[in-house]
Structure 1
Amino acid sequence: MTRVAVRPELLRWARERAGVMTVDDLADRFPRLPEWESETALPTLKQIESFARAVHVPVGYLFLATPPDEPLPIPDFRTHDGRGIRRASPNLIDMLYACQERQGWYREFSLAGRMPEIDFVASANLDQRPEEVAASMGQRLGFDLTARAACRTWEEALRLFIGQAEKLGVLVMVSGIVLSNTHRALDPQEFRGFALADSRAPLVFINGADSKSGQMFTLAHELAHIWLGTSALSDATAATLSGHRREEVWCNAVAAELLVPLAAVRATLRPDEPIDAAMQRLARQFKVSTLVILRRLFDAGSISRDAFGHVWAMERERLRALTEAAGSSGGDFYRTTLSRVGKRFARALVESTLEGQTLYRDAFRMLGVSKTETFNTIGRDVGAML
């Protein structure tokens, strides 16, 4: 039996990195963890390997002299109460790297197929008025407010929006878990999405654990980053509170105008209508969160700054409670699996695999599937197989 010496600070770092703040949280699986951290006992190699899997850390990290620095590969614009969020969870880090791998693969696929670069990437700048950029984005996307209002549900409206973005060439991926691991849920309180800008493979990832209306705003916000040509990690909301960077404030403004044009809001205002009633009515019409509507009511001059802050805080807590109570229904397995990588990426990957350009092993990993039957079903759903 091989026992290994691991520095206590590495064990504590790995535990806290995974969000496990006390040894008691791992007591059932690793009853001798307190002894390992106090150096009164040494773990076996198998125990350390099991511990590494439990806290989602590469086992080699546990044999370093000091905890490693893990800078995020893209700018981090997340904030909490106006302060930057320092440490990213293993789930977020692993999801970022998985999407970067997919993006890198698709970029090579695009180059091999001599596909043209996408002209709207980096076509905007921060000196442009958000209204101007939102109008340009809406025109390119074919964004039709009437068509969105006709959608029966927020989910249907979100699918329409995703389809419009993918038709333009954006890889849109939506998931509430890391790859296909249902035990590794993504927390919308940690992040709502990110954008990976690239002239051939622009990618937007949306945290699927968020509400459907919240996902609508995240997609619009991350598309604004793509138009800027900047990669970024965000916890996008419609509020432009102090502490947010200029780029985030600008992307919020573009997203709000794209989803809920101020002119359209003013045209539908009703005199003396209570704010709560207006929020609910307009949220149903525009298929966005009541928080986005609240922001636009403020922009339209229908609510004061002081009242906005108070109502915003109350509505945010109400929606958070509703989201937690609703949980996740799981949904259709194949549709969910496909949405995690997006139709554009899935079709390209299946076609490349069938042509022998990509190994099945690599395709399965990037799709997050383990069975040939699932791979074939996805291939048929995206029109790559009969």
Structure 2
Amino acid sequence: MASVRVDVKPEILAWVATNAQSLTDKWRQQLATWIAGEKQPTVKQLQQMSRSAKVPFGYFFLDRVPQEDLPLLKYRTVANETLTQPSRDLIDVITDMETKQEWLRDYRQKQGFSQNRFNGAAQRVAGLSQLTATQQAEEILTLLELEPGWNEGPKSFDRFKQLRQHAEAANLTVMLDGCVQGNSHRPLDEDEFRAFAMTDAYAPMIFINTQDGYRARLFSLVHELVHIWYGQSELFNFDFESTTLVRNPVTEQRVNQISEAILFDQATFERLWTASAGQKPTSRLKLVAGSLGTSPLSAGIRAVRLGLVTQATLDDLKQELRADYQQYKQRQRNQTGGPSLYQVRAAHIDHAFVVDVARSAQAGDTSYPAAFALLGVRHGAGFDKLLAAIEGTGSHSGNGFSNELFNGFK
């Protein structure tokens, strides 16, 4: 039987050729043939093209070029001025998070939630422009029910987890992933973005790219929390090493200073620095960073600002860290085994969000297929496994989980 060929609009094919960075030369040649009208594609070819280009299959059947108007993209921070076209992976992650945010906003409004107190709280602070970065950091810590120096502790102390829990207690939704909707074949590029923040009166949301280093994620989370506090959405890609282009340099500089003050309380930092006397400067920075659960590079930048080390010391530290990072990546490549798929998803997804979706499905307000899509599972069995994995973490206290809720889905 002859293959069914599809009359796809040439402008759609041209749009795919322009926007799909992952296409091979072979597929680009094939596209050129279709655009020229020499031959029409088959359904199977379009399906293969969809996977290769990371473009939704339905786009090929549109009458006009798709308008992917994602407001968050205008907040991109980039370290290279020529980097103007976002990847399909980034677009799809933002779209997925916007879908989740829209659902959560609607759910909370129907449930009678008040508007989020943390979102845009800076606008309600009297004399904000007169406050120092440290004073603004203290305002944020108070809202999160934390104190200056909150992250000092032993190396085993998980500061990221603690801060995430305090953010979630303030009804902020924090999601993590290193690929597009759990698809390991579509890893996210840490050079394109590290995190993003989406403000909202009812459902402010933060996404952290887990391809980034573990300690670097803590700075990203703090940085995005400051943006939510200001009431500003943002897509973050600060690499500490190059001149980063941003829409509002003054605001971004202030956000970075506040972020540093949250992570590196000056009195705590200087005490730890004094306690590490006798070590070479780069070793002292690593020790201080270890005590605060941060990356050594961010600790080094803070030390430069405090006048404790010179730029030359920071440059030496960067060289050491590059070598350490290559060794870390090699260990990751050689590593086998690890947690199950659903354990990883349970660690990445916001647990309060899961509770809200589960309750809404149980009440009949959200269909189970829609609930599956929101939680990134394909069927009821996957839904059960995700709930069981979250229940097994024991980290959902205070988020409203109960045995009765879980038993309703098993």
Q: TM-score, normalised by structure 2?
A: 0.81
Q: Aligned AA for 1:289?
A: S
* Counterpart in the other structure of 1:129: 132
Specify which of 142, 157, 160 is matched with residue 158 of structure 1.
Answer: 160
1:358 aligns with 2:366: yes
Q: Which range moves more in the overlay, 348-357 or 271-280? A: 271-280
In structure 2, give the amino acid aligned to 1:159. K
Deviations 1:113-152 (A, max 9, x none): 1112222211226834321121122222233577644354
Distance across 1 between alignment mates of 2:317 and 2:18? 32
**Corresponding position of 2:319:** 314
Alignment check: 8 A CA contact 1:173 1:339 kept:
no
Distance 1:370 1:2 in 2: 29
- Contact residue 11 and residue 37 of structure 1 kept, 8 A: yes
Q: Percent identity?
A: 25
Q: 1:89 to 1:312 in 2, by over 3 A?
A: farther
Residue 106 to residue 36, structure 1, CA distance change in 2 (3 Å) = same
Correspondent of 1:57 among 32, 47, 55: 55
Cα gap change, 1:187/1:105 in structure 2, threshold over 3 Å: closer, same or farther?
Answer: same
Does the CA-based 8 Å contact 2:154-2:291 persist in structure 1? no
Matches within 5 A, 1:290-309: 290-305=296-311, 308=314
Per the alignment, residue 207 of structure 1 pairs with 209
- 8 Å CA contact 2:79, 2:237 repeated in 1: no
Tell me which residue corresponds to 1:227.
Answer: 229
How much does 1:246 deviate?
2.5
How far apart are 1:341 and its partner, in Å? 2.5
Letter in 1 for 2:406: M
Query: Residue 86 of structure 2 corresponds to which residue in structure 1?
Result: 88
Paired AA for residue 78 in structure 1? T
Q: Kindly report which structure 2 residues correspond to 1:187-198, keeping only aligned pairs within 5 A, or say none.
A: 187-198=189-200
CA RMSD of aligned residues (A): 3.0
Residue 201 of structure 1: how far off its partner (Å): 0.8
Query: Take 2:90 and 2:172, find their aligned partners in 1: how far apart are those partners?
Result: 21
Q: Which residue of 2 aligns with 1:143?
A: 146
Q: How many residues align?
A: 379
Match among 36, 43, 46 for residue 45 of structure 1: 43
Q: Is the 8 A contact 2:176 2:349 kept in 1?
A: yes
2:293 counterpart letter in structure 1? K
| Residues 316-344 of structure 1: per-residue CA shift (max 9 Å, x gap) | 63465345332586534333212333111
The whole-number CA distance in structure 2 between the counterparts of 1:363 and 1:334 is 16
Q: Distance in 1 between matches of 2:222 and 2:370?
A: 31
Q: Which digits, 9 at most, give the CA deviation of each residue in 1:20-72, with x for residues without a partner?
A: 26414x5xxx9956754665543223312331233121345446788656443
Determine helix, strand or coil for the equivalent of 2:55.
Answer: coil
Amino acid in structure 1 at the alignment position of 2:377: V
The reply to whether residue 385 of structure 1 matches residue 406 of structure 2 is yes
What is the aligned partner in structure 2 of residue 324 from structure 1?
Answer: 329
Q: Which runs of 5+ in 2 are unaligned?
A: none
User: In the alignment, what sits opposite 1:168?
Assistant: 170
Contact kept in structure 2, 1:23 and 1:34, CA below 8 Å? no
The aligned residue for residue 266 of structure 1 is: 270
Matching of residue 112 in structure 1 with residue 110 in structure 2: yes
Aligned partner letter, 1:87? Q
Q: Secondary structure at the match of 1:182?
A: strand
Q: Distance in 1 between matches of 2:148 and 2:198?
A: 27
Match of 2:75 in 1: 76
Seen in structure 2, the aligned counterparts of structure 1 residues 87 and 223 have a Cα distance that, compared at 3 Å, is same
SS in 2 for 1:150: coil
| Contact 2:372/2:378 (8 A) holds in 1 | yes
In structure 2, the residue matched to 1:184 is 186
| SS state at 1:43 partner | coil
Cα deviation for residue 182 of structure 1 reads 1.8
Q: Distance in 1 between matches of 2:138 and 2:242?
A: 20
Q: Deviations over 1:238-261 (max 9, x none)?
A: 568463422322222221111112
Task: Report the TM-score when normalising by structure 1.
Answer: 0.86
State whether residues 119 and 230 of structure 2, in contact with CA within 8 Å, keep that contact through their aligned partners in structure 1: yes
